[in-house]
């Protein structure tokens, strides 16, 4: 009888711990949900304000629809969201508008090209900062809007 009680306790503990870890994974992914505004991008020799003089790029994650959308400071974009844990993939096809971007110069292309290189993400500062990472380098930083 004691052996059966012990087995029941062990199995209950394992099941509870499994569900806790699933919740943590879901919580990490759910932190992406919502609108984010770009505050930093790596790579170009032009200053951030020079790349985006009038409008900063934004990105929106819709976890229920597995959709990513936003604005690269000139054109709107949308595509399928592919997330697995902290891994994220923007290499799938994205639909974009084709506005003429006189004021922007090359900022929109820098944004889209950098987005294609992203492999993972990290949400910090109690959900206020999103870092998009390539390998182990933070390539883009966003703040929650």
Quick: pLDDT tens for 55-113: 999 999 999 999 999 999 999 999 999 999 999 999 999 999 988 877 656 899 999 99
Q: Write down the pTM of the prediction.
A: 0.79
Q: Percent of the chain having pLDDT more than 70?
A: 79
C-alpha span between 12 and 25 (Å, rounded): 20
Sheet containing 137-144: which strands, arranged edge to edge? 82-84, 87-89, 120-124, 129-134, 137-144, 34-41, 58-62, 67-71, 76-80, 94-96
Q: Which value, to the nearest 10 degrees, does the dihedral of the CA atoms of residues 141, 41, 55, 66 take? A: -50
Residues 41, 107 contacting (CB under 8 angstroms): no
- Per-residue pLDDT averaged across 115-129, rounded? 96
d(CA 19, CA 26): 11
């Amino acid at each position: 009888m004691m052996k059966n009680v012990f087995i029941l306790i062990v199995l209950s503990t394992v099941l509870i711990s499994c569900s806790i870890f699933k919740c943590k994974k879901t919580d990490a992914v759910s932190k992406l949900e919502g609108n984010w505004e770009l505050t930093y991008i790596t790579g170009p020799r032009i200053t951030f304000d020079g790349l985006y003089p009038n409008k900063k790029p934004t990105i929106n994650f819709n976890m229920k629809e597995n959709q990513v959308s936003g604005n690269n400071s000139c054109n709107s974009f949308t595509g399928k969201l592919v997330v697995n844990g902290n891994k994220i993939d923007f290499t799938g096809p994205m639909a974009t508008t084709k506005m003429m971007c006189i004021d922007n110069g090359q900022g929109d292309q820098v944004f889209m090209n950098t987005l294609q290189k992203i492999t993972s993400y990290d949400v910090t500062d109690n959900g206020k900062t999103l870092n998009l990472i390539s390998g182990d380098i933070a390539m883009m930083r966003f703040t929650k809007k």
